[in-house]
Amino acid sequence: MRETKIPKTAIEEYNKGVIITFAKSKHDNCKWNKNVSTWEMLKNRYDNGLRDSQMQKLYDAEYSLIPCGAEDNLPFDEVILKIAEVINDTWFRKKFGRLFSDTELKIENAPRNQNMAYAYGTDIISIPYHMCNVPIVLHELSHIIVDRLSFVVNMRKSYSTHGRMFAFIYLEMVKKFMGECSYDILKNGYKNFNVKYRNRIPQTSARKKILRERMLKLHENV
């Protein structure tokens, strides 16, 4: 793949794939605070801990979204351009631009014997040829977003790998870049497999007392 330039983006080869460099955009948020929608989106979608208890549920929920045949997969070059297109989209930059401004993202053209796509930490996505499709691209990008959030926003909350925050961001990405039909498929999958993606209800002292009383009654009735 030749070195390619599109607005706000430089794409160059390295030994395992390509490196995409994202420049600053006028739409990038310079600050997240309690008065902007991004903060409201992030505030209460935390998990009880870091244990990835939702992974299989989420995989099952997205099953109907993933293309079935090899003919539905994109060439690796088109996957690269799709990722650049998504991250440079105005909607994306307004919500997550701060995470990608003046940063690099490595996209690995994974070997054929790799049976899964992976996001490694904050800056590497590895995709094998048989998983080069839009849902998987959005899935892995959602991992990168959540991992970068932990470095940029000190929320003092736990976000597990496929937890509430990931599930919510993935659903929003599908709605924006795949349309309402795909959004409905994934949302129904979440419902069918009990994937949590909504805000947690803050546990006030009064609510904790109510929950304790319920638990005591349950133990008494056993």
Structure tokens at 125: 């996505």
pLDDT bracket for residue 2 (50, 70, 90): very low
Q: What are phi and psi of 106, to 5 degrees?
A: -90, 130
Structure tokens at 119: 């996001």
Domain ranges in the chain? 4-221
> For 155-180, what is each residue's pLDDT tens digit?
667 788 999 999 999 999 999 999 99
Distance between CA atoms of residues 177 and 35, nearest Å: 26
Distance between CA atoms of residues 106 and 122, nearest Å: 10
Q: What is the rounded radius of gyration, in angstroms, for the C-alpha atoms of the chain?
A: 19
What phi-psi label fits residue 8: left (phi over 0), alpha (psi between -120 and 50 degrees) or beta?
A: left
Distance between CA atoms of residues 167 and 119, nearest Å: 15
Structure tokens at 127: 């995709």
Task: Tell me what percent of the residues of the chain surpass a pLDDT of 90.
Answer: 49
Pick the range with the lowest mean pLDDT from 99-103, 176-180, 185-189. Answer: 99-103
Distance between CA atoms of residues 191 and 19, nearest Å: 37
Pick the range with the lowest mean pLDDT from 17-26, 57-66, 157-166, 202-211. Answer: 202-211
pLDDT bracket for residue 218 (50, 70, 90): confident
pLDDT bracket for residue 101 (50, 70, 90): confident
Distance between CA atoms of residues 62 and 185, nearest Å: 8
Tally the residues of the chain: 222
pLDDT bracket for residue 182 (50, 70, 90): very high
Pick the range with the lowest mean pLDDT from 121-125, 148-152, 208-212. Answer: 208-212
- What average pLDDT does the segment 44-60 reach? 90
Mean confidence (pLDDT) of the chain: 85
